[in-house]
Chains A and B, each alone.
Chain A
């Protein structure tokens, strides 16, 4: 049993072993045994996320587990209970793993120091979203084989993006080159130390990318003046149909969802031939089955 708190610290072999295992968990794959039969997996979503929660729930159920779905709404959290009290109470019901989504960076790390069962980070604040990065790498690997020498361009709000952080670490570990692009206000210092190359010039970067990952723009960042308007953001950093023309002919388009259509990604591109967005969703269940299997 081990935790999945982030990609930080994972070695290439460990990631590849997990992705290999995920292959076996694809529909029709060899890993059909219900390894979690009779066990309980607790989904603790302190922050809403229908798709990640559903994906983990599907993964757990198809492995034979019972799923305890806990959400912050109407719970004792709204009455001021601390995170550790909440988690200890749920742990007392005996789950093999806690799948945690939380708005504070590091919340799963805090929990992992105080519980005995496995802790799986389903997205913490602006830190990491490791299962997303693993399913993204899995999706790319199914298209490309090894990622060595490939360039992935991540576009948008890097500062607030846990998807970006996990992807930078994961893709770099697997041998890919990662370029991040966004307005300077949304590019934190220290991205180089994380392994990414940084640019603010989307049009110059696009022709060199083998895949472009558009991040969801949180629209409330506009009121904090990280950028003047979603309109201007779309104009400078949105992947429009015209921009997609500049991509390599076989380059892929990804998005962790949910999409702000017409902001970071034009509908025609999201639904176009390059898009692997629905594959990402489908692969998510296989990858999360592998994670639950390894961690539980």
Chain B
């Protein structure tokens, strides 16, 4: 590789280095070579006119479900990576709850080899905490880490056994990786189908109380304090959880948290008349929880915006609400929904970008997420003024399960570069030959 690429006159936002202004960015050999306030003259460089565009570090999604191996009808690593780069993501963390659970090097290596073959974005596998996600015995964490897993999680399920959870945090200190937790006390969520509140009562749907999440957050923070491990709380959704994480961070605990665009955008009323596209786990919460998440995104309590991209087939959703499968696809709507917080005055542009880049990189210790000299040339170009309507039929993801179909968003990804190579441009995937 020798490719010289010059991003000319774009608004560079690099929150890690406190940059927000017009710059030229030169890329050489897949890395950032120079960031300059003054215009650069470089012979032989491919010039990308970035005037009117934001030039950002590639986005990093700590939480996606790529479904392969096992449920390739919903998504494959290839189609998931297409959706990722179309959404401006240059790196994703793939959850282990595939139909062949990623609890061994064999599956980790399969995921990595498919991702290499796709040649679109970085895919970092997450390994299981427990064998088969059964919540009974620890999976071989050492093997998973040496095969390439960047964190462990039983996502989709909580680790209900507190002693096992405690040991997984302790044992993970061997490898200095985060333990990512799906916080749900199953005895409290029970048969519930949506969050407790007036909408659940009106619809006659059995309620999931916020305590199902908050009590587990409390438990795991107590365990974390004893073990000294690293805890990452997935898809945090409740006011009470946010308050506890804020307090734990203040006391210096090694905890990070992510929030999804659907949880910081929609409240329980989005269920409407039993719309299964608004069914997810954790469920959409009340307006005050949405407000608490927004505040926590702004004040740093939440480290990352993660999509929990969860593809499902049409028939999984075209059923009775309580039978409806949980989850929404999120990669291709994340930027627009995040920028809505900027338009609403909740986040500064720099904070919004941080939550999609440096925030997640820092939480998991991943490369990228910034544009300093020497950083990987993972770059996302955004047209902040472009208005568009979400059309699920045009998703690159194999699945269309979104509650945002038809929603008007402002701000779209125009180009995505990974390692100095253009992988998405103006609505088209640039497949490698």
Contacts and interface: CB of A to CB of B under 8 A. Distances in A.
Interface stretch (A24-32, A131-139, A183-191, A251-259): A183-191
Interface string B188-228: 00000100111111111111000000000000000000000
B321 interface: yes
Interface in A175-226: 188-191, 193-194
Nearest to B276: A110
A189 B321 contact: no
Nearest to A8: B202
Contacts of B206: 126
Contacts of A110: 274, 318-321
A83 interface: yes
A188 B196 CA distance: 8
A69 to B, nearest CB: 22
B197 A165 contact: no
A124 B202 CA distance: 13
Interface in B170-195: 193
Interface in A71-117: 82-84, 102, 104-107, 109-110
A45 to B, nearest CB: 15
Contacts of A157: none
Interface residues of B, number: 22
B29 interface: no
Contacts of A172: none
B204 A189 contact: no
A264 interface: no
Interface in B292-324: 315, 318-323
B273 interface: yes
Contact of B204 (A82, A83, A125, A191): A125
A83 B202 CA distance: 23
B205 A83 contact: no
A105 B202 contact: no
Nearest to A166: B204
A125 B202 CA distance: 12
Given A105-B322, A109-B273, A125-B322, A162 B197 contact: no
B320 A106 contact: yes
A105 B274 contact: yes
Contacts, number: 73
Interface range on chain A (Cβ under 8 Å from partner): 20 to 34
A190 B201 contact: yes
A21 interface: no
Determine which residue in A82, A104, A191, A194 has the highest number of CB atoms from chain B within 10 A of its CB, and name it: A104
Given A188-B207, A189-B207, A82 B200 contact: no
Contact of A189 (B197, B318, B323): B197
Contacts of B320: 83, 102, 104-107, 110
Given A82-B315, A104-B322, A189 B196 contact: yes
Contact of B205 (A102, A105, A189): A105
Given A82-B315, A84-B318, A125-B322, A190 B274 contact: no
B315 A165 contact: no
A190 B321 contact: no
A109 B319 CA distance: 11
A128 interface: yes
B207 A104 contact: no
A162 B193 CA distance: 16
B204 A193 contact: no
Given A109-B273, A110-B274, A188-B207, A104 B323 contact: yes
A8 B196 CA distance: 19
A8 B274 CA distance: 14
A127 interface: yes
B206 to A, nearest CB: 7
A162 B201 CA distance: 10
B202 A162 contact: no
Given A125-B322, A189-B197, A194 B202 contact: yes
Contacts of A105: 193, 203-205, 274, 320-322
Interface in A1-19: 8
Nearest to B273: A109
A128 B204 CA distance: 7
Given A105-B205, A105-B322, 17 more contacts: A105-B204, A105-B274, A106-B204, A124-B204, A125-B322, A126-B204, A127-B205, A188-B201, A188-B207, A189-B196, A189-B198, A189-B201, A190-B198, A190-B201, A193-B202, A194-B198, A194-B201
27 contacts: A82-B315, A83-B320, A84-B318, A104-B321, A104-B322, A104-B323, A105-B193, A105-B204, A105-B205, A105-B274, A105-B322, A106-B204, A106-B320, A110-B321, A124-B204, A126-B206, A127-B203, A127-B204, A128-B204, A165-B202, A188-B201, A189-B201, A190-B197, A190-B200, A190-B201, A193-B201, A194-B201
Interface of A: 8, 82-84, 102, 104-107, 109-110, 124-128, 162, 165, 188-191, 193-194
